[in-house]
Amino acid sequence: MKLSRMTFTKLLALVAIVLCSFASTSRASPLDPERYLLVEAEPRAQLEDYRLNDDVWPTHYDIEIKPYLEAETGKQAFTFDGNTKITVKTEKQGVAQIKLHIARMEITSWSVVRKSDNNVVQTLTEIYDAETEVLTIPLASGVTLQANTEYLLSFTYIGNMDDDMHGFYRSYYLLNGEKVWLGSTQFEQTHARRAFPCFDEPRFKATFQLKINHKTPQYSVYSNTPIVIASPSESGRTLTTFGITPSMSSYLVAFIVAPYEINQREQMGILARPQAQNQTQYSLDEGIKLLKALDDWIDYPYSSVPEMPRMYMAAVPDFSAGAMENWGLLTYREANILYRSDDSTSLQQQRIATVISHEIAHQWFGDLLTCEWWDVTWLNEGFARYCEYFATALVEPSWELEHQFVVEQVQSAMQMDSLITTHPMTHPVYTQAQASAIFDNISYNKGAVVLRMMEHFMTPSTFLTALRAYVKENAYKSVRPAHLFDALNRYNPNARMYMEPWTVQPGYPLVTVTSNDNGFTITQKRFLVNEPTHTDATMWPLPLTYATNANEFSNTTPTFVMTASYNIPMADASNVQYFILNKQQVGYYRVNYDAALWGKISNALHSEDFGGIHVLNRAQLVDDLFNLARGDIVPYGTALDILEYLKHETEYAPWLAAVNGLTTLSRRIHAEDEELFTIHILDIFAKAYDTVKFQAPSPTERRVFTYMRQNVLKWACNYGHEACSKAAVAEFERFYANPSVKVHPDLRQVVYCEGIRKGTQAHFEFLWNQYLTSNMATEQILILQGMGCASTYELISIMMDAIASEHVRSQDKSNAYTYIINNQYTLPHVSRYLQLNHAIWAAGHGSYLSVASAFNNLLARLKSDSERDTISAFIETNKNTLGQAAYDSIKNGLTEYETNKQFTMRNRDEISTFLKKKANGGAGAVFANVSMIVSLLVLVVCRW
C-alpha cells in the first residue's frame, strides 16, 4: 500500500472539523499503569457528595437490555433500551429519600413500589447531579421507607453505546475491510451506572439477573452466568435470560453482544471473533491449568460457587484496561489473551499467562471478597498482582517468575514511591478521577510486594493457611484491611503490627549500614529521590536479613526491627568478605553502605562468580546504586565504577535492573556527552552481546535468557553496535524480499526497529502494510514498536498521522506514541509535528489535554533549550486554542524540563569525568581500585 503524508491527510477526512465531537481520553491498562501525563480535574462538588449514604441497600437487580448496533425504525444506532428493577431495603427508620447512580442515559419512566402489597410510594421530582452522577429520589412530604421492608425501584431508559471503552460500549473488528460491530462492557470503577441505574460502589453487593434482547442469528450473547433460556421475542430477535449471579458488586457485571465463536473444554471457554479462533488454544490450555492451581492453592474451588459452573474469557478488540475480572466472564485486550507461537514473542506468551493468572485470582480476591471501597483497592489488586507471578510459577516453574518479581514489582514500585507525590496503599478516594488514579503502582506493585514480605516473615505455609482462613471467613462480603490483619494475626500475633505501617504510610526507607570492628549499625530514613535533605521522620518496621558470604543468602525469614537505630553485633566484623542487607530483596527498602562496605561489595562483584552474591541481590545492588546516585546519596562516579561489573554479568535480573537504570540515566546525559555515553554503553554490553548472540532462541535455553537477549540486542543496536545493526538490517531485508518467511518473533522488535531506522520509505510502507493486514494483535504491537524507530520527519509525520487515525486503536495510541519518542533523535520532529498538526492530534485522541500529554512526555525526554523555547512560544501563541487546562499542563511540563536540566548540570562533571576516563582507557583499572571508591564515598555518611 503506497503511503504518503498527503494520502494520510485525506484518510483523516478533515478530522479538524470534528473537534466539537471529541470522545474522552482512554486510560492505559491497570496491569500496565504507566500513563500519559494527564491533567486531573479538581473536584467540583463536596467530597462526601460523591459517595452514596448507607440508608438504602440493594439486594437484587432484574435488568433487560435491548441493543441497537445499527439503526432501526425509531432507534438510533449504538443506543439501547433498558429496563431495570432493583429490590432495595433499609434497616433505618425515617429514610425519606433514595440515592443511587445513573450516567449517560435518558430515564423515560420510574417508580417506587412496596413489594409486599404493590403499593406505589409517592415521590417528588427527582434531582440529578451531573458531577457526582447521583440521582436523588425524594419521597413525598411525610412519606418514609419502612425498615426491613422490600421496595422495588423500576426504571425504563435509553442508554448510549459510546466508543470510549467504558460502560456498555461499541467495538468492532474488520472482516474483508468492513467493520463488524459488537457490544461489550467495562464497568470498573464507576461505569456500571452507564448501563443500568445502580448503587455503583463495591460495598453494595446484590444478585443480578440479566436478559438481553438481541438480533439473531447475527449475534450471540454472553454474561457472567450461563444461559437459562432463550426464546424468540419478535421478528429476528431473541430474548436470552441468564442465571442469577452470586451476590456481587455492580462493577463485576458483564455482558457481550457479538458474533463470537467459542473454544471450550471442561469448565472453561475462550470467546473471540471467528478469524481469531486459531489463536485461542494456548489461553484455554493455560487457563485450565491456572484455575486448577489456584483452586488448590486457595483451597476454595471456583466451582464451589453454585452460580458459577463455568468460566468464559473473552478477547475484545477495543478494551481500555489490560483485562477485567468480571465474575465468570473475564474480558481481555486481544494482545493479552490471543497467542500463536509463530507470531508472538516469548515475553508476550508470558504476559498472556500472567494476565490470565491475575484475572483468575480476582475471582477470589475481588469477586468473592471485594474491597469495601476504592481507598483499599490494594486488597483486590495487590493479591491479584501477587498471584500473577507466584500462581503462574506453580504452572510454569521454569520461567523463574519469583526472580522477575523483584525487578518488575519491588523495584518498579520503589520508583513511584520515592516521590513526594506518592500516597499510601490505603488512601482516601472520593471522585471518579481519584478512583481511577488509585489503580497504580502502589495499589498493584507495592500491594504485592508487602504481601511477599509478610509471606517470608510468617513462612509460606503459615501465610497460606492464614490467607485460606481470610477467604473462607469473608466470602461474599466486602472487606477492609482489618479483616486481613485479623486473619494474619491469628497465625502470628505480630503480623498486623509489622504490616499495617507499610499500608498506611507513604514511601519507604533508605537503610544505611555503617561498620566497626564489633559489628554493624543500621539506621533508617525515608528515601525521597528528589529531596535528600528532607526532615520527614517516618519510621517503618524493618525486616532485616543479611549475608556475609555465598552460603548465607538462602534463609530469607527476617527479624523485624521497630527502632530508628539497631546494632548487629559481630565478632571480627571488619574481616567479613562483605555485608549485604536484605537477602533476595524481600524487604521493601533501599540500602546504602559506608565506604568500606561498598568497597568490599565492589571487590566481590568484580571477582569470580561475583563473590557468590545472590543474583537477586546483584539486581538489588544495581537498582540501588542507580537510584542512590539519582538521589544524591552516592556519587555518580562511584556508582558507575561499581556498575562496571555488569560487563561480566550473565543473568537477566541484574541486566533488567541495569536497563531500567540506564534508561533513566540516558535521558539526563548532557547532549554534548552523548558520544561518550555511547562508548560506555557499547563497552558494558559487549560481552553480553557475545553471550546472547544475534540468533533465535534455542529450544533448550532458559526463558529468562531469551528475555535477556531481547534487551541486549535492543540496546546494542540502538547505540550503533556494528554487528548487531548489520545482522538486524540483513534479516529485515530478507523479510522484505520474502514476507512469507517471517522473522522469529523474539527477534522482531530489534529487526523491525533497525530495518526502519536504516531503511527507506519503501521499507516503512512495507511494514505498515503488514500492520494493516495482520490478524494478530501481538504482531501489530511489535510492528508499532518497529515503526517508532523511523528517523526522518516525513516518516515520523506519517506515523504520527497513523496514530491519530482510526488505524491505530484508541487503546494502542499512547504506547505507539511512546515508541516514537523513546528514540532521542525523533524529538525535534515530533515537536514540529505537534505544533503544526495539534488539531489533528486533538481530534484523534479526544481533546487538547492529549496534546498537552504528548508535549509533556516529549519534554520529559528533551535536552534542547532551543526546542524548549519553540514549544514555549507555541503554547503562548495558541493559548486560546489549547484551552486553560492544556496550557497549564504544558507550562508544568516546561517547569519539569528545567528541573531535569538542573539535575543534568548538577551531575554532569562527575558523569562526564567517569565517561572520559573510560573512553581514554582508564576504567579498567579504576573499577577495582577500592581505595578510590572509598575516597569518593567518604562524603556519603556526612551527606546522609
413 with 441: CB under 8 angstroms?
yes
Residue 203: DSSP 8-state:
T
Q: Determine how β-strand 261-265 pairs with β-strand 546-547.
A: unpaired
765 is catalytic: no
The three-class DSSP label of residue 376 is helix
Dihedral sign for Cα atoms in the order 820, 823, 827, 829: negative
Distance, CA of 366 to CA of 192 (rounded, Å) = 16
Dihedral-angle region of residue 3 (phi above 0 means left; psi in -120 to 50 means alpha; beta otherwise):
beta
**pLDDT greater than 70 at residue 155:** yes
pLDDT at 41: 57
Q: What is the pLDDT of residues 878-917, one digit of tens each?
A: 999 999 999 999 999 999 999 999 999 999 999 999 999 9
Distance, CA of 841 to CA of 25 (rounded, Å) = 12
For 208, the enclosing helix (H) or strand (E) is strand 207-215
Tell me how many degrees the CA angle 256-262-267 measures, rounded to the nearest 5. Answer: 95
pLDDT at 922: 59
938 with 596: CB under 8 angstroms?
no
For residue 209, what pLDDT band results from cuts at 50, 70 and 90? very high
Q: Which of 20-29, 56-65, 148-157, 519-528 has the lowest mean pLDDT?
A: 20-29
Size (the chain), residues = 944
For 810, the enclosing helix (H) or strand (E) is helix 810-821
Q: What is the pLDDT of residues 435-444, one digit of tens each?
A: 999 999 999 9
**pLDDT greater than 90 at residue 3:** no
Distance, CA of 250 to CA of 105 (rounded, Å) = 17
| DSSP β-bridge partners for residue 62 | 85, 209
Distance, CA of 370 to CA of 348 (rounded, Å) = 29
Q: Helix, strand, coil % (nearest 5) of the chain?
A: 50, 20, 30
Query: Model's pTM, two decimal places?
Result: 0.93
Q: What is the pLDDT of residues 636-666, one digit of tens each?
A: 999 999 999 999 999 999 999 999 999 999 9
358 a known binding residue?
yes
Q: What is the pLDDT of residues 599-643, one digit of tens each?
A: 999 999 999 999 999 999 999 999 999 999 999 999 999 999 999
Nearest alpha-carbon partner for 604 in 576, 581, 585: 576
Q: What is the pLDDT of residues 486-506, one digit of tens each?
A: 999 999 999 999 999 999 999
522 with 566: CB under 8 angstroms?
yes
Q: What is the pLDDT of residues 726-757, one digit of tens each?
A: 999 999 999 999 999 999 999 999 999 999 99
**pLDDT greater than 80 at residue 137:** yes
**pLDDT greater than 50 at residue 510:** yes
- Give residue 204's identity as a one-letter amino acid code: F
Q: Which of 64, 133, 325, 359 is catalytic?
A: 359
Cell of 96: 425519606
Give the pLDDT mean for 549-566. Answer: 95
Distance, CA of 272 to CA of 262 (rounded, Å) = 7
Class of residue 497 by CB neighbours under 10 A (exposed 0-12, middle 13-18, buried 19+):
middle
Tell me how many degrees the CA angle 248-253-259 measures, rounded to the nearest 5. Answer: 150
Among residues of the chain, what percentage have pLDDT more than 90? 92
Q: CA 740 from chain center: how many Å?
A: 35
Q: What is the pLDDT of residues 914-942, one digit of tens each?
A: 999 999 985 444 444 444 444 444 434 33
Residue 418: DSSP 8-state:
T
Within a 13 Å sphere around the CA of 741, how many CA atoms are in the beta-carbon half?
8
Buried b or exposed e, range 353-376, using 16+ CB within 10 angstroms:
bbbbbbbbbbbbbbbbbbbbbbbb
Nearest alpha-carbon partner for 244 in 202, 203, 210, 268: 210
Among residues of the chain, what percentage have pLDDT more than 70? 93
Distance, CA of 649 to CA of 540 (rounded, Å) = 33
Distance, CA of 404 to CA of 351 (rounded, Å) = 12
Dihedral-angle region of residue 720 (phi above 0 means left; psi in -120 to 50 means alpha; beta otherwise):
left
Distance, CA of 395 to CA of 548 (rounded, Å) = 34
Distance, CA of 944 to CA of 701 (rounded, Å) = 44
**pLDDT greater than 80 at residue 328:** yes
| DSSP β-bridge partners for residue 84 | 63, 155
pLDDT at 385: 98
pLDDT at 939: 39
User: Interhelix angle for 761-773 vs 793-804, to 10°?
Assistant: 20
Class of residue 13 by CB neighbours under 10 A (exposed 0-12, middle 13-18, buried 19+):
exposed
**pLDDT greater than 50 at residue 25:** no
CB atoms within 10 A of CB 659: 17
pLDDT at 11: 37
Q: Which residue has the cell 500473577?
A: 388
pLDDT at 43: 82
Q: What is the pLDDT of residues 165-207, one digit of tens each?
A: 999 999 999 999 999 999 999 999 999 999 999 999 999 999 9
Distance, CA of 203 to CA of 180 (rounded, Å) = 37
**pLDDT greater than 90 at residue 943:** no
Distance, CA of 273 to CA of 252 (rounded, Å) = 23
Dihedral-angle region of residue 98 (phi above 0 means left; psi in -120 to 50 means alpha; beta otherwise):
beta
pLDDT at 921: 81
Cell of 380: 483486590
615 with 658: CB under 8 angstroms?
no
What is the average pLDDT value for the chain, to the nearest integer? 93
225 with 312: CB under 8 angstroms?
no
Cell of 99: 440515592
Q: Determine how β-strand 478-479 pairs with β-strand 509-516.
A: unpaired
pLDDT at 37: 35
For residue 42, what pLDDT band results from cuts at 50, 70 and 90? confident
The three-class DSSP label of residue 263 is strand
248 with 477: CB under 8 angstroms?
no
For residue 351, what pLDDT band results from cuts at 50, 70 and 90? very high
Q: What is the pLDDT of residues 364-393, one digit of tens each?
A: 999 999 999 999 999 999 999 999 999 999
Give the pLDDT mean for 1-25. Answer: 36
Distance, CA of 30 to CA of 402 (rounded, Å) = 21
